[in-house]
Structures are given as structure tokens and as C-alpha cells.
Amino acid sequence: MAPITNGRTLFNEIPSGFPEPGKTTVYDTSKTIDLENVPLNGGVLVKTLVLSADPYMRVQMREADIESYMPPFIVGQPLGVGKILRSERDGFKPGGYVYGLLDHAEYSLPSPDVPVFGIRVFNPEPGLQYSAYVGAGGMPGQTSYYGWKEYANAKAGETVFVSGGAGPVGSLVIQLAKQDGLKVIASAGSDEKVQFCKDVGADVVFNYKTTSTLDILRQEGPLNIYWDNVGGTTLDAAIENAANHARFLECGAISQYNSKDGVNMKNLDQIYARRITLYGFLISDLAPKWEEEFYKVIPKKLASGEFKFREDITTGLENSGQAIRDVQIGANTGKKVIVVAQE
């Protein structure tokens, strides 16, 4: 078979604000790949089926010499699901499925030692689409599950506030919290997202763009647990309404990723006064403890419908730049996935 085009989305330029397709990212078809003969060097050749667009990507769009918890996003290595076409690696059989950091391309050759998330073989749960494995069944779902299990110390009857409740992390947190018998307050940025939070079981849901977060928390608090996906003034409002001994799970700060301005915090002194513990965490630290349990428990619940999730599908790798932007500006209506190819 002759070499074929290997379409790629390349990272082109560091954005100063929100990423822009065609400028921050460009779609490129200049490279080809010979699927039968490309050397594997002990690794695998993977056909990309689904890629994921996630909020954390903005953190990677920076100068390479600025340190962070993720390596800089040089050419783009999103999380994705692929099918193994050829393999020289133990445990990776042709025809099997992998989840992990792939190239931002139609075909990739993930190195045996991909950093941070690595790559793992999984057996798809019958009835569960592959795309679920980059969402509720992948990194976002793992974030919810690992964080909740490790730090929430949830007790039935307590109150939790989940910001970004309609996202793939938040919506699973809502469901884990309801399973544990908590009262769940959730915020989201559109009426449609508010409805989704209600659909997955949140007790009190509000649109933070049209309703005062402070007013709601003053009415519905105090908070025993705050799952923070957004940072900024919402964190300040949560501190103001924290119960004594509250646990704050610091999972993300999307309100701050696209701005260099700081945020005015009025209530930081309440951290000690109310004996709040704030846990900053990343799933890479927690995976050794919780990963196997996650794969045993969560895909089954997603396949059966016991746990709900919602996807917002972009079709075609050439549209991934727009998908990345949509996640940053909050224009997606569910876990953003890019369907690159069918099997």
C-alpha cells in the first residue's frame, strides 16, 4: 500500500487570550505515512478514532521555558482513543484499543514512554461508545473519581457545591455525591447546562451568568465540600460560605486560564478561621491508587445508564482547532470529543 496522507492539527502560535483556529492551531496535510512499513521501534502504530479537547490544553499553550505540571504543548498531544494497527510492544495487540496521549493526527506512533498519562490498553464495555473513554470513562471521569474518593471525606447529609457542574468532571462529581447522600448545589453557564445538572441529580442548580453565586451559597450553604473547577471569585464566595472543617477540592481554574489579571479575594483569612483544607491535586499522583478500581466500576455504570454523561461531538480532525477554542470559551454543550475516524 502506498503512503497516505496523515492529517495533523499543529500548534502554530502561543495565543495571548483564547486560542483561535487557523492562528493558534493549523490543520496540515503535508505529511504522509506508510502504514505497512513505518518502523515501530518497539512501539505501536495507532489509528486515531476519537480525540479529546479539554480545558487543561490552554495551560500547555505557553513558552516552553515556563514550568508547569504539564509539558509544553509543542505539536499537540491530546488524549484520544485509537485502534492498534501494528505492534512490536508487549501487551499491545493489533486490533486492540488504546487510551492515552496520541499525536494530534490521524495516525500516530506513541512512544513506549509517553509522559504524564501514558497509554493503556482497554477492553471496550459492550454498549459504550469509544468516545466515552476520553470523557466520563477517561481523564475527566478519573479526575472526579480519584479526587472524590481521596479527599472529599463525604458524609450523608452534608452539602457540596460543584462549580462547572455540567462539564464532564463536574457532572460525574454530582452523581458521586448524590450516591453518597449529599445535598448538591451546582453552577453552570447556560440554561441548557443548568438543566443537565438537574438531570444528573443536583438539588440546587443556578446559572452563574444570571444569578449571584454569593446569594445562592448564602441561602443554601454552608458548604462542607467545594469541588472547584473554576477558581476566581467563585472560590472566594465558596470560602465565605464554608462550614467549619470544609474540604475544598482544587481541581481547576478555567476562569483564570485565559487572563493574566489576578482575582480580588476578600475571604482568604477564613481558610484558617474555619479550618478549611484546600487540596490541590492532579490525577497523575492518584492514578496508582485508584485507576484499577475506576476501570472496574465506572465504564459499567456508564454503559448501563446508571451514571449519565453528555458529549458534544465535532467531526473531522480539521475542525479540532475550533473544538479546542469552544472548550475554552464554554461554547460546548457536553464533553467535547473530536471523532476523527470510524474503525
Binding site for its own copies (CB under 8 A): 59, 68-69, 231-232, 235-236, 244-245, 250-253, 256-257, 260-266, 268-282, 285
Pick between residue 228 and residue 326 the one whose CB is nearest to its own copies. Answer: 228
Pick between residue 258 and residue 319 the one whose CB is nearest to its own copies. Answer: 258
Task: Tell me how far, at minimum, the Cβ of 219 lies from its own copies, in Å.
Answer: 16
Cα–Cα distance list, 92 to 1, 24, 110, 341 (Å): 23, 34, 12, 20
Task: Tell me how far, at minimum, the Cβ of 59 lies from its own copies, in Å.
Answer: 7
Task: Tell me how far, at minimum, the Cβ of 148 lies from its own copies, in Å.
Answer: 15
Task: Tell me how far, at minimum, the Cβ of 122 lies from its own copies, in Å.
Answer: 26
Pairwise CA distance, residues 297 & 264, whole Å: 41
Task: Tell me how far, at minimum, the Cβ of 81 lies from its own copies, in Å.
Answer: 26
Pairwise CA distance, residues 314 & 229, whole Å: 23
Task: Tell me how far, at minimum, the Cβ of 277 lies from its own copies, in Å.
Answer: 5
Question: Hey, what's the cell of 82?
Answer: 485509537
Cα–Cα distance list, 270 to 242, 243, 245, 308 (Å): 9, 10, 11, 36
Residue 285: closest CA among 120, 151, 170: 151
Pick between residue 41 and residue 69 the one whose CB is nearest to its own copies. Answer: 69
| Contacts with 89 (C-beta within 8 Å, 6 or more apart), sequence order | 40, 42, 43, 44, 112
Pick between residue 64 and residue 265 the one whose CB is nearest to its own copies. Answer: 265
Strand 311-315 relative to strand 119-122, pairing: unpaired
Pick between residue 269 and residue 306 the one whose CB is nearest to its own copies. Answer: 269
Pick between residue 22 and residue 280 the one whose CB is nearest to its own copies. Answer: 280
Pick between residue 60 and residue 129 the one whose CB is nearest to its own copies. Answer: 60
Secondary structure, 3-state, 53-108? CCCCHHHHCCCCCCCCCCCCCCCCCCEEEEEEEEECCCCCCCCCEEEEECCCECEE
Cα–Cα distance list, 166 to 163, 170, 238, 260, 306 (Å): 8, 6, 18, 26, 17
| Contacts with 304 (C-beta within 8 Å, 6 or more apart), sequence order | none
Task: Tell me how far, at minimum, the Cβ of 254 lies from its own copies, in Å.
Answer: 9
